[in-house]
Structure 1
Amino acid sequence: MTTEPQPAATTQKLPRTLTRDLAQHDGQTVRLQGFVHARRDLGGVQFVVLRDVSGITQCVGSSLSLPLPESSVEVVGRVKAHPKAPGGFEVQVTDFRVVSAAVEAPPLEIPKMEWNVNPETMLDYRYVSLRGLRERAALKVQGEIVYGFHTYLREHGFTEISTPKIVSAGAEGGANLFKLDYFGEQAYLAQSPQLYKQIMVGVFERVYEVAAVYRAEEHATSRHLNEYLSLDVEMGFIDSEDDVMALQNGLLAAIMERLRETCAAEFTLLGATIPDVPAHIPRIPLMEARALVTEKYGHQVGGKDLDPEAERLLSQHFTETEGSDFVFVTKYPRAARPFYTHADHNADGSLNPDLTRGYDLLFRGIEITSGGQRIHDHAMLMDSIRAYRMNPEAMTGYSEVFKFGMPPHGGFAIGAERLTAKLLGIANVRYARAFPRDRHRLTP
């Protein structure tokens, strides 16, 4: 048996087989390619657990020169049913070739990461730890969430757009902007595509974007990132925020159905469950939600919004009473919403300047979405910009479009990592991103 990277005539005649397909080749000779996930040398017999993109399998041979873990290898052998082997089959090796040898032992023992590695160390060596079965499972699920997002929106008449990530002003104001020197001018990394996707409603009526956004917030919590993947939607010619919530309701149902079809193995591996999405996700106005958690659970809510404990308790209430892991919190006060959020109407049809048509969506105790109806009237928008003490001149590139017949519109944004983390029971959102960026981490 050779360990040098050289072609083997016997392997060139066989197509590559993935480990997940071994059951289709019981008793046949196959060619596998992958990484040395684990290895054991019992003297006369060697065991190699080979990992490829689809899973792992046990390979058994004799007189094999085993390379270091994580080396990439090629195995030719006969498939045999084995009840104790991963997937119920093993490969009896007839030819073993090292494709690319690891030059040193990996900094982590990937098969043992879950129980003997410091979580921070897993981030320090992310270029290796991502190869772990659980780590890549989370990213596979996130990829399918994004695919489902694309598919559903395209089927419902949405056009994908791409908006600038270097901007002259923030979409939501505040101090949470990363500053840039743009050829001598002050610029920022975009904290949201909000202003641009509203402009694009005047072009395509229904638009969406999947892209990173940036928040210069000095937090250090399990639910925040400074760079995250935002799934943004905006739609025109709506009657109210109810249309936006209805679209999101259907979108989430379609995404969960796709996960059932494509990621059952990943959810099983991670011990997680895919939620049912109600045909009509429960809705509750913010002030009623605050009162509910105080009266039912004795929790006094601070601030203008729901604090994390209030979000958890409100979700618990709707899980227990309506069997829903999702709940829309609606009718946010203006003080808790961005300047572009449309005011709500009173019963007589007049505008209520203190209440908005903004909402949040909670899922299993955490906010995963902010959304609502936006202001489309130019005069109303300019009044709002001034009321928020923003510079109207700095907003000209955005506000001018509202002079030209912008329709009533609204939308939302889903944080992909938060949704992934809550779906899979990942305690810290950093582990739901391949290479997370937080206030302490700029590498790898």
Structure 2
Amino acid sequence: MSSEITSPTRPCATDLAAATLAHLRDPVVRANLALRRSIVREVRAQLEGEGFEEYETPVLGERINEYSAGLIRAQSAAGDEWWLTQSPQLFKQMLIASGRTRYLQFAHCFRDEPREPGRYDRMREFIQIDIEMVTDDPAEIRRLVERVMVRVCRAAGRAISTPFPEMDAATAVAHYGTDTPDLRTDPDEWSFVWITDFPLAEPDGSGRPRLVRHPMARPEQPPRDADHACSLRTYSYDLVLNGYEIGSGDLRIHDAAEQLAVLRAMDLPAEQYQVLLDVLADGCPPHGGVGLGLDRLAMALAGSRDIAQASAFPHWFGRVLPEEAP
């Protein structure tokens, strides 16, 4: 005889299997997954045609706090501690420093973000269309992404116009109350907008300065201290579609002294970033990139409000159960 241990907040294995099979058989999900495959195909074709090389990077590594969302810890049977990567940022900067000028990856990323009632557009594990290239011009990266989006949207059955409108983050918040504005005039539109020039840091609820971007985002000048960091903007840009952030990027810091200045100003442990500092000190060209959320992009193009409907195996474990979906 076997018994099954369950908890009040987690479905038993039988319920999980039934929910997953029902999800995979859902005709809406099947159509969305077909759309998702076409997105992958068109992105890869466009970027390979522009000279990008596809690489795979590790998902296990040393602890690096890139984003405010929590890290997820992994542990070996021997007790060794590792961390699931929030993004491939360190690895792709190594690739750039080694002489690769255009990098592409469909990368697994992990962020332990708290659940928010009524929000169904993110998962703890997601696929990021990760792009990095040698450039000192953020507009060059934005134009590249627009060419990708034109091809993706054409494959999805709709033509779009470029260049996308641009708006700095301060203006977006002042006019729309958010840095992810929905600029549609018709509910059936696909409305893209670039939100640019995010601050390096800003005070949190307690008045303590915190990073707005990740620590490798390049500011307009090296910060002297935390207060100075709050006055600086970064060479950054988010791509917003119908009120959803589907991509985020920036120019990266390529100078070791400037990177150390950001870490010290924000009171971040330099030893946690020592490998990156060593890579930059060895010499690294100006570069930047962007991460496009494949799951969220497929969700938005499909006209869904639930990211689970654009994933074959969404996070039933502790994320969104079918009866909780919008």
Shorter chain as normaliser: what TM range? 0.7 to 0.9
Structure 1 residues 367 and 397: CA distance shift in structure 2, 3 A? same
- Residue 107 of structure 2 aligns with an amino acid whose one-letter code is A
Residue 316 (structure 1) aligns with: 183
| Matching residue within 94, 106, 127 for 1:229 | 127
Larger CA Rg, structure 1 vs 2: 1
1:176 is aligned to 2:52: no
Residue 277 (structure 2) aligns with: 399
Residue 209 (structure 2) aligns with: none
1:171 Cα shift?
Answer: 5.2
Query: In the TM superposition, what whole-angstrom CA distance separates every residue of 1:341-369 from its partner, at most 9, and x where no partner exists?
Result: 11137xxxxx9961101111100111111
Q: CA RMSD in A?
A: 2.6
Q: Normalization by structure 2: what TM-score?
A: 0.80
Structure 2 Cα separation of the partners of residues 186 and 175 of structure 1: 19
- Could you list the runs of 4 or more consecutive aligned residues of structure 1 that deviate by over 6 angstroms after TM superposition? none
- Please tell me whether the aligned partners of residues 277 and 326 of structure 1 are also in contact (alpha carbons under 8 angstroms): no
Q: Which runs of 5+ in 2 are unaligned?
A: 1-14, 202-211, 222-228, 322-326
1:212 is aligned to 2:79: no
- Please tell me whether the aligned partners of residues 199 and 401 of structure 1 are also in contact (alpha carbons under 8 angstroms): yes
In the TM superposition, 1:27-426 aligns within 5 A as: 124-170=18-64, 172-174=66-68, 176-182=70-76, 183-202=78-97, 203-220=99-116, 221-236=119-134, 238-260=135-157, 274=158, 276-293=159-176, 301=177, 306=178, 311=180, 314-316=181-183, 319=185, 325-335=191-201, 336-344=212-220, 354-426=232-304
- Residue 255 of structure 1 aligns with an amino acid whose one-letter code is V
Structure 1 residues 418 and 442: CA distance shift in structure 2, 3 A? closer
Structure 2 Cα separation of the partners of residues 280 and 143 of structure 1: 25
Query: In the TM superposition, what whole-angstrom CA distance separates every residue of 1:260-305 from its partner, at most 9, and x where no partner exists?
Result: 3xxxxxxxxxxxxx3x332211101111112222xxxxxxx3xxxx
In the comparison of the two structures, how many residue pairs are matched? 285
Structure 1 residues 421 and 376: CA distance shift in structure 2, 3 A? same
1:185 Cα shift?
Answer: 3.2
- Please tell me whether the aligned partners of residues 171 and 192 of structure 1 are also in contact (alpha carbons under 8 angstroms): no
Partner of 2:232, secondary structure, is strand
Q: Which runs of 5+ in 1 are unaligned?
A: 1-120, 261-273, 294-300, 346-350
Structure 1 Cα separation of the partners of residues 69 and 299 of structure 2: 27
1:388 Cα shift?
Answer: 2.6
Higher strand share: 1
- Please tell me whether the aligned partners of residues 192 and 239 of structure 2 are also in contact (alpha carbons under 8 angstroms): yes
Structure 1 residues 175 and 128: CA distance shift in structure 2, 3 A? closer
Partner of 1:152, secondary structure, is helix
- Please tell me whether the aligned partners of residues 364 and 422 of structure 1 are also in contact (alpha carbons under 8 angstroms): yes
Structure 1 residues 398 and 279: CA distance shift in structure 2, 3 A? same
Structure 2 Cα separation of the partners of residues 240 and 353 of structure 1: 22
Residue 10 (structure 1) aligns with: none
1:442 Cα shift?
Answer: 10
Q: Normalization by structure 1: what TM-score?
A: 0.60
| Matching residue within 301, 315, 321 for 1:437 | 315
- Residue 287 of structure 1 aligns with an amino acid whose one-letter code is A
1:330 Cα shift?
Answer: 0.2
Identical aligned residues as a percent: 28
Partner of 1:328, secondary structure, is strand
- Please tell me whether the aligned partners of residues 283 and 328 of structure 1 are also in contact (alpha carbons under 8 angstroms): yes
Structure 1 residues 173 and 418: CA distance shift in structure 2, 3 A? closer
Query: In the TM superposition, what whole-angstrom CA distance separates every residue of 1:351-396 from its partner, at most 9, and x where no partner exists?
Result: 9961101111100111111111111111101111222322212212
Residue 48 (structure 1) aligns with: none
Structure 1 residues 327 and 389: CA distance shift in structure 2, 3 A? same
